[in-house]
Structure 1
Amino acid sequence: MATYKKRGYKPKNKKEQEELIQEESTTAEVFDSLDESASKTEAFISKNQNVILSVIVLITVVVLGYLGYQNFILGPKEKEAAAEMHQAQVFFDNAINATGTAQDSIFKLAINGGNAKPGFVAVADNFSGTKTAALANYYAGISYLNIGEYQKAIDHLDRFNLNDEVIAPMAKGALGDAFLQINQPKEALGYFESAISLSKNSFTTPKYLLKAAITALEIKEPAKALGYLERINEEFPEATEARQAKALTGKAEGLM
């Protein structure tokens, strides 16, 4: 362990004198090394000054450009997109609450527009890159799903790219529903599994666990189905899906 020695300290014997000389030599070497490193750093900066400054300027330009885009272009564009999509959302809400042929007609208004306002498809195209456009693709996909145009539903739902805890898994789940409708259960199961993995909550998770289990049973994968059913029973016993999960558990066990 090193000991502190006052300035002007004189060694008492030869051993202390040798230790003092060694300490002073080591200290000198450290400072020489630091001086050498500093000199090399200064030389590097001097030699590459133009490159370093160019990189700093480039980073500054990129950051300022991003902030400018966010504040002066994307911000106003989001507001305009939201205003333009309002009527389509009204149509969508009305369609959800309607029945029969009237429901299909109102969903088509939500998709294509009405009352001199654009529908979800136009909003998604005209305001690409905004969060509103992503939502427009989601609503368009759900609308197409409800009127039986499954490939168009897939096309729009596949463009939804927001990391929302509820809507993101619902978009994946809706893709699963669309693939089931076109008789592609394996692809559907993959989307239900994606919906499960995106977010754990009491609304979407048990819903897609059950759909995944039913689809797994359909493609003769009872072990996988049983795993999903057990998750519902253990993690979401109060969910509305729990009763059906318990009924299907016996079926899955019997197929193994």
Structure 2
Amino acid sequence: MKIIDINSIPRGCNVTKKKVDVDREKIALSMKRRQRRLYIIGLFVIVLSSCLSGWYSYQEKKDIQAQNDCFQAVYYFEAEDFSKALEGDGVNKGLLEVVKDYPYTKTANLANFYIGTSYMHQKEYDKALAFLTKTHFKDFILQARTWCVMGDVYSEQKNYKQAAAYYMKAAHYKENSVYTPGYLVKAAVAFEAASQYKDAYHCYQEIVEKYANAHYGSDLAIKESSRLSALL
């Protein structure tokens, strides 16, 4: 009978130990990879933050320069000398040059509003809309005013439906008793010009119901809503 050497038989515990060692190596490798990934992400965040901080600092300096260059052009705009406001006077920059020289600044954003309004007064309506659509204000007065001017542009083009839509947009943006009634009156006039008498009537009724103490509340709105009710 053949004698079997017990020591030659594989031990289960040795196999288990090898498996554990392999698992540990895998876990350690996975942790290293995760740490490396976190390090890269952290480095990226630091670099990005530094770049953004530098960008904002740079933009603030450019914005101050833009305000200085824009000062005389705004003066011409307020004096309704729209040609000089847009093109400059030969010494001082016009709004168009300011927007070109200082893009992405807050001043350029405001200048786009002035440019669009200037073109509207010069009856260059396509140019007016091109610049007005570039403006985006956090200030509710300026944003509503921008939509109102766009309504004026469409009204001048006799596109009364589109004009009314922008007047309504201005009226219902952060409603208030100072500006909303005026925008509603503009919307009502545009609706009536488009033969949308019911919508015009509702604009006046909204003033009567919500803004009775406003400038348009007790006189014009009541009178006009009464007149339009006969047309419904």
TM range (shorter): 0.7 to 0.9
| Range 179-188 or range 42-51, more displaced | 42-51
Find the counterpart in structure 2 of residue 244 from structure 1.
220
Contact 1:154 1:178 in 2 (8 A): yes
Summarize the alignment of residues 159-174 of structure 1 with structure 2, pairs less than 5 Å apart: 159-174=134-149
How many correspondences in the alignment? 205
Q: Which of 101, 114, 118 is matched with 1:126 structurally?
A: 101
Q: Which of 144, 167, 175 is matched with 2:150 structurally?
A: 175
2:38 pairs with 1:52? yes
Q: Which of 58, 61, 83 is matched with 1:108 structurally?
A: 83
Deviation at 1:188, TM superposition (A): 1.1
Find the counterpart in structure 2 of residue 227 from structure 1.
202
Deviation at 1:117, TM superposition (A): 1.1
Find the counterpart in structure 2 of residue 253 from structure 1.
229
**For 2:122 and 2:34, how far apart are their aligned partners in 1?**
64
Find the counterpart in structure 1 of residue 17 from structure 2.
none
2:42 pairs with 1:67? no
Contact 1:131 1:162 in 2 (8 A): no
Find the counterpart in structure 1 of residue 192 from structure 2.
217
Q: Which of 59, 62, 67 is matched with 1:77 structurally?
A: 62
**For 1:45 and 1:211, how far apart are their aligned partners in 2?**
66
Q: Which of 46, 67, 72 is matched with 1:87 structurally?
A: 72
Contact 1:186 1:219 in 2 (8 A): yes
**For 2:223 and 2:29, how far apart are their aligned partners in 1?**
77
| TM-score normalised according to structure 2 size | 0.81
Cα 1:199–1:115 shift into 2, 3 Å: farther
Summarize the alignment of residues 130-209 of structure 1 with structure 2, pairs less than 5 Å apart: 130-209=105-184
Q: Deviations over 1:138-189 (max 9, x none)?
A: 1111122222222222121111112211111111100000011112111112
**For 1:115 and 1:182, how far apart are their aligned partners in 2?**
33
- 2:187 is paired with a residue whose SS is helix
Q: Percent identity?
A: 25
Find the counterpart in structure 1 of residue 9 from structure 2.
none
| Range 199-208 or range 120-129, more displaced | 199-208
Deviation at 1:115, TM superposition (A): 4.8
Which residue identity lines up with residue 247 of structure 1 in the other structure? K
List gaps (5 residues or longer) in structure 2. 1-26
| TM-score normalised according to structure 1 size | 0.74
Deviation at 1:42, TM superposition (A): 9.1
Q: Deviations over 1:29-54 (max 9, x none)?
A: xxxxxxxxxxxx99865442222222
Structural RMSD (CA)? 2.0
